[in-house]
Amino acid sequence: MRTPHLLASACTASDPEARYHQAELAIWDELTASLVEHPRIWRSPEEGAMVLAEEVDELWDEIRGNHIGRARAEASQVGAMALRFIADLYELDGPGGARERCRAAAVEQHDALALVGPPGRPCASSHEAFGYLKRELDALWSAIRFEEPARPIAARVAAMAVRFIAEITTSSTSVAVSVR
């Protein structure tokens, strides 16, 4: 995990806006590190979506193991790859380099925060938050399959990752399932 200080801040901040800001910073930290480690630009929406899907699968593994701290770190990687999706596939003609393209993607992610997750309330559990994130990923795949605009949906995936980090803390209650 590259951003333990940011994730810890997001977890303990009493001001909700500060938690969202810290979550966005955690994603930005992951994004800039990914640009250094993997500077190659994705060549197709399918390639980008597969990398993003891999990160979502890793997030699910941590949720199932009830490793909330590691799940939040995985969510920052999901958000970073969603921003890379936008920056690498849709901002190629923009001014400046990769960081400027990523900044434009981060603005779209921030604007999409109000559009994702349960309206008017925080996510109740890591399972619920993951369900909303997975729904956005499924919508991204659908857009790619039917050659519809995928860019705004990638911003929604990143926005849901922000919500996961900001709203799901180590003190969150897990979903209890009762079998009769």
* Domain boundaries, given as residue ranges, for the chain: 4-167
How does pLDDT run across 16-66, given as a tens digit for each residue? 899 999 999 999 999 999 999 988 788 899 999 999 999 999 999 999 999
- What lies within 8 Å, CB to CB, of 154 at 6+ separation is 48, 52, 82, 83, 85, 86, 105, 140
* 4-12 and 68-90 helices, crossing angle to 10°: 110
pLDDT of residue 145 exceeding 80, the answer is yes
Query: Could you tell me the pTM of the whole model?
Result: 0.88
Pick from 79, 86, 65: nearest CA to 26? 79
- pLDDT above 70 covers a percentage of the chain that reads 84
